[in-house]
């Protein structure tokens, strides 16, 4: 005999949240709801996006190229629905620059357009302040947890950071060999905008 349940189950954490990309001939305009850009190296394998897992990554061992992608939670100005926007490294430079200048992306307006008529044509982005009311803007999505969910990998709990003593600065270690094919670089990928800025300052990328 069936077990009757007369009320729907509670929605899951990411119910209704989808992953979106900029479409051909459909410029995107949205308000960013998260504070920061999240990025990762990914591989396209088995007909879907797979995250790079570093030195032991099976897709790297199979010589499948990896590409950096950035992710934001945004609120569409047209549909008023929140979703996750995926951007290529080139398109995300404007986002990273804005975050570096302002300290947070939340409440900013992003306009993204795919140039050309192909699904893989380049995307250009502009990010600017908006008059969005942060008090009523939906809370940003936990991007790392969302991505781990759709990638079917367990979320990684970061080690607790040591407290910073007053009057002292904390040094964040960088990989000694930031070559794009090294295990260290795959584990700690540098954002392209930061790499270009280092080059401009005469530093090693």
Instruction: Report the pLDDT value the prediction gives residue 166, as an integer from 0 to 100.
Output: 55
Instruction: Report the pLDDT value the prediction gives residue 143, as an integer from 0 to 100.
Output: 94
Instruction: Report the pLDDT value the prediction gives residue 180, as an integer from 0 to 100.
Output: 47
Domain ranges of the chain: 21-148+180-194
Instruction: Report the pLDDT value the prediction gives residue 42, as an integer from 0 to 100.
Output: 92
Q: What separation in angstroms does the CA of 118 have from each of 32, 47, 93, 136?
A: 26, 19, 21, 37
* Residues of the chain with confidence (pLDDT) below 50: 168-188, 190, 194
Note the pTM of the prediction, 2 decimals: 0.71
3-state secondary structure of 14: coil
Give 104's contacts (C-beta < 8 A, 6+ positions apart): 35, 36
Query: What DSSP element (H or E) covers 89?
Result: helix 89-102
Instruction: Report the pLDDT value the prediction gives residue 123, as an integer from 0 to 100.
Output: 92
Instruction: Report the pLDDT value the prediction gives residue 156, as an integer from 0 to 100.
Output: 64
Instruction: Report the pLDDT value the prediction gives residue 70, as an integer from 0 to 100.
Output: 95
3-state secondary structure of 158: coil
């Amino acid at each position: 005999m069936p077990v009757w349940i007369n009320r729907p189950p509670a929605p899951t954490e990411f119910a209704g949240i989808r992953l979106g990309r900029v479409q051909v001939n459909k410029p995107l305009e949205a308000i960013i709801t998260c504070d920061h850009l999240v990025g990762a190296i990914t591989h396209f394998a088995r007909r879907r996006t797979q995250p790079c897992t570093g030195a032991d990554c099976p897709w790297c061992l199979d010589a499948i190229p990896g590409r950096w992608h950035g992710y934001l939670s945004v609120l569409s100005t047209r549909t008023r629905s929140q979703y996750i926007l995926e951007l290529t490294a080139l398109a995300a430079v404007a986002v990273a620059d804005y975050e570096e200048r302002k300290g947070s992306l939340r409440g900013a307006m992003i306009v993204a357009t795919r140039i050309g008529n192909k699904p893989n044509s380049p995307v250009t982005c502009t990010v600017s302040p908006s008059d969005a009311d942060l008090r009523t803007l939906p809370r940003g999505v936990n991007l790392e947890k969302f991505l781990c969910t759709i990638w079917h990998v367990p979320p990684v709990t970061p080690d607790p950071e040591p407290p910073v003593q007053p009057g002292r600065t904390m040094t964040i270690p960088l990989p000694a060999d930031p070559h794009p094919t090294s295990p260290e670089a795959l584990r700690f990928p540098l954002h392209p905008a930061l790499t270009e800025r280092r080059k401009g300052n005469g530093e090693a990328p």
